[in-house]
């Protein structure tokens, strides 16, 4: 079909949308003899070779820095010719856009620009050519700086309001209202005096949610203010404003609203007495006098009983710390009695002082941003729970963490130990980051029990993790020769654990301890149970409850001691050094290559003295350790501290074994 010829007119706009070969379109025509534009319907017939846009085209595209935009140039028609599609920027027809290092990707009729920068702003023109038709379209791309996480310049402040009164809280936002996509006010209240349920999850009530922030103030009340009218005791608690933008997450600020009792009755009573109004006669006062006397008697009895109970506890405390010949382990003395001088302070230590929780603004984290999940560990006086932390570590998003806390019945001395562990973790954190040391994230000391927040290790502690691998050992569940490079086992999740894996675990623990020793830190409780395993099989030394800073330390106070991991000088004389940590590292090596076995499993505590010193007993080589590795263990167990290697030497020795295991593996692969 031939194209209709329009005589004596110039077509300015020939059509808007073409869907078939025959289209009703609006043509703007200028008569040759007139300066007026004539708009009238016209039937435009298209040849079979024609093409047209497959979608409604838009002119402007917006993007933010580091994001991505896609520009479509899709056409349709009845042409069987291969289409040639080229893209140009800012009208430069001499330099078509090509795919460069995944920054710009051309696929069919779409241009995608990744990792946007402000310099990517401009006009992008798509030119489509066929043998019989040509189309072009220009997009204006505007790239703006991405928003950071929303910033609350001034949050709500702690407020005390009288019952029945009004409290006003506000959040001042640095960003404009258009940048805030969502805002929420939340109340964390208490039930029966507690802000948390049995699972340690906070009691939360959502008070106000605003999602149309950009329409304020024309349609809605101010979303950044919260007004509490006619408050009651139920309104007392922590109020948190949460703001979010569409780019980088949320930010929180909290304040406490305290509701005081109504004082009108008290004012009324004082007014009556000031006016001289008699309240009762002398005859009516006898019941009152009897009641007061009875109350005094009860008070005297309670005070006397309290004094007697305090005296009894003091006597019990002194009896507890006296030394008696016994075969049982007493933490305040060596395991085996040896002649030595002991001060009176050791025999009768003073009662523990009340524990004062240290507040440190640098590490303080609001406990109402923690959502507790399951319990993942426990110790003699503490437990560890998995939790979700919102906005910890200057990262405005939810993170999975581990939270350590004391049991409710923890003694003052145990509380002091826990506080000291917190201070040690802060000190280690300030010394620098190391991949094989557990990362301290923060703590919560206000508004509840002390919480210590550390990074979460998905696979738990090393001892339990290795123990879980025993059922997956090849060779019908029995140990095979340690020198066999083909040995392997499997975790419950199906992960392969080879001899190389075990050497890698030993190497990582040695590296972490080398870092601590270089910072003059003595761990004193190095054991496989205190080494964590991440989902990437990265080992991290944890549990700094017994850690001390210095080259040498002598323990003089009571406490639980890990006797089977302790060096002789620590076990018998309470003397600790980096060399005593080296002894413990040798025991950890034994645990690794016995897949979580118990050291000295058949030897009672009271026989360790004779076995270790007088008989020179050392644990036998575990089934999965080579003779070279066992030689390293034995040197770690040298009786004299000076005869043991340093951690830097251990790192080098185990590194050579690790490289050799990699070489063996490569050799095996080539021969298969």
**CA dihedral of 528, 530, 534, 540, whole degrees rounded to 10:** -100
Q: Are the C-beta atoms of 538 and 439 separated by less than 8 Å?
A: no
Annotation-wise, does 382 bind a ligand? yes
Q: Is 669 annotated as contributing to ligand binding?
A: no
Residue 107 in marked binding region: no
The annotation status of 651 as a binding-site residue, yes or no, is: no
Tokens encoding 503: 């050497």
Per the CB < 8 A criterion, the answer to whether 187 and 256 are in contact is no
Helices (H), 275-330: 286-320
Q: Please say whether the beta carbons of 139 and 61 come within 8 A.
A: yes
CA dist 262 → 167, 272, 274, 484, 489 (Å): 15, 18, 20, 81, 70
- 120 annotated active-site: no
What CA–CA distance (Å, rounded) separates 137 from 54? 12
Ligand-binding annotation for 384, yes or no, is yes
381 is in an annotated binding site: yes
379 is in an annotated binding site: yes
E strands, 422-538, where? 440-444, 451-455, 488-490, 496-498, 521-522, 531-533
Measured CA to CA in angstroms, residue 114 lies from 57, 60, 102 at distances of 21, 17, 7
The verdict on whether residue 460 carries a ligand-binding annotation is: no
Question: Residue 328, annotated ligand binder?
Answer: no
Maximal C-alpha separation, the chain: 127
Of the residues 120, 235, 525, 581, only one is catalytic, namely 525
What's the gap between Cα 427 and its chain centre? 19
Paired tokens of 19: 């869907």
Beta carbons of 422 and 475 less than 8 angstroms apart: no
Calculate the dihedral angle through the C-alpha atoms of 203, 201, 197, 461, rounding to the nearest 10 degrees: -170
Determine the Cα–Cα distance for residues 465 and 528; give it in Å rounded to an integer.
10
d(C-alpha 236, C-alpha 232), whole Å: 7
Nearest alpha carbon to residue 646 among 585, 564, 590 = 585
CA 144, CA 659: separation in Å to the nearest integer?
50
Q: What is the dihedral of CA 331, 336, 337, 342, to 10 degrees?
A: -30
Q: Which residues are annotated as a binding site?
A: 377-384, 404, 529-530, 543
Q: Which residues are annotated as a binding site for Mg(2+)?
A: 530, 543
- Active site (catalytic) residues: 525
Q: Which residues are annotated as a binding site for ATP?
A: 377-384, 404, 529
């Amino acid at each position: 079909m031939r194209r209709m010829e329009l005589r004596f007119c110039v077509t300015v706009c020939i059509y808007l949308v073409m869907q078939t070969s025959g289209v009703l379109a609006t043509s703007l025509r200028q008569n040759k003899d007139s300066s007026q534009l004539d708009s009238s319907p016209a039937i435009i017939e298209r040849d079979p070779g024609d093409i047209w846009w497959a979608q409604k085209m838009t002119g402007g595209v917006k993007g933010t820095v580091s994001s991505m935009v896609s520009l479509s140039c899709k056409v349709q028609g009845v042409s069987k010719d291969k289409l040639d599609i080229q893209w140009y920027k800012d009208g430069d027809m001499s330099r078509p856009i090509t795919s460069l290092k995944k920054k710009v990707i051309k696929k069919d009729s779409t241009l995608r620009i990744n990792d946007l920068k402000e310099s990517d702003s401009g006009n992008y023109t798509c030119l489509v050519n066929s043998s019989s038709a040509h189309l072009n379209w220009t997009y204006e791309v505007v790239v703006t700086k991405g928003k950071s996480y929303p910033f609350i310049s001034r949050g709500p402040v702690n407020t005390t309001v009288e019952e029945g009164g009004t409290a006003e809280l506000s959040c001042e936002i640095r960003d404009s209202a258009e940048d805030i996509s969502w805002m929420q006010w939340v109340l964390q209240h208490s039930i029966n005096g507690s802000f948390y349920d049995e699972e340690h999850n906070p009691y939360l009530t959502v008070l106000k949610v605003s999602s149309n922030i950009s329409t304020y103030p024309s349609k809605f009340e101010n979303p950044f203010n919260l007004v509490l009218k006619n408050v009651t005791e139920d309104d007392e608690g922590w109020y948190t404003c949460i703001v979010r933008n569409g780019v980088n997450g949320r930010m929180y600020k909290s304040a406490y609203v305290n509701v005081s009792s109504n004082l009108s009755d008290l004012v009324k009573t004082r007014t009556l007495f000031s006016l001289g109004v008699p309240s009762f006669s002398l005859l009516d006062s006898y019941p009152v006098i009897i009641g007061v006397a009875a109350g005094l008697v009860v008070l005297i009895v309670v005070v006397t009983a309290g004094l007697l109970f305090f005296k009894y506890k003091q006597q019990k405390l002194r009896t507890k710390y006296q030394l008696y010949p016994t075969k049982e382990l007493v933490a305040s003395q060596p395991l085996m009695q040896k002649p030595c001088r002991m001060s009176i302070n050791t025999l009768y230590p003073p009662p523990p002082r009340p524990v004062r929780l240290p507040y440190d603004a640098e590490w303080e984290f609001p406990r109402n941003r923690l959502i507790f999940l399951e319990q993942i560990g426990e110790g003699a006086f503490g437990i560890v729970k998995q939790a979700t932390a919102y906005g910890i570590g200057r990262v405005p998003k939810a993170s999975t963490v581990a939270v350590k806390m004391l049991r409710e019945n923890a003694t003052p001395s145990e509380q002091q130990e826990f506080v000291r562990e917190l201070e040690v973790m802060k000190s280690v954190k300030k010394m620098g980051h190391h991949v094989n040391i557990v990362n301290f994230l923060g703590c919560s000391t206000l508004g509840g029990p002390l919480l210590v927040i550390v990074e979460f290790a998905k696979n738990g502690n090393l001892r339990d993790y290795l123990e879980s691998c025993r059922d997956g050992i090849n060779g019908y569940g029995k140990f095979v020769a340690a020198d066999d490079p083909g040995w392997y086992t499997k975790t419950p999740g199906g992960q392969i654990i080879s001899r190389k894996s075990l050497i890698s675990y030993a190497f990582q623990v040695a590296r972490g301890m080398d870092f601590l020793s270089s910072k003059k830190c003595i761990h004193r409780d190095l054991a496989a149970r205190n080494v964590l395993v991440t989902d990437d099989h990265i080992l991290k030394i944890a549990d700094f409850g017994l850690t001390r800073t210095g080259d040498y330390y002598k323990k003089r106070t009571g406490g639980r001691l890990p006797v089977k991991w302790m060096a002789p000088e620590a076990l018998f004389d309470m003397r600790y050094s980096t060399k005593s940590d080296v002894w413990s590292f040798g025991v950890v090596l034994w645990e690794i290559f016995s897949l979580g076995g118990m050291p000295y499993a058949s030897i009672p505590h009271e026989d360790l003295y004779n076995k270790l010193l007088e008989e020179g007993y050392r644990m036998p080589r575990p089934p999965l350790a080579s003779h070279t590795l066992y030689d390293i263990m034995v040197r770690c167990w040298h009786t004299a501290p000076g005869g043991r290697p340093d951690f830097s030497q251990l790192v080098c020795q185990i590194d050579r074994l690790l490289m050799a295991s990699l070489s063996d593996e490569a050799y095996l692969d080539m021969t298969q």
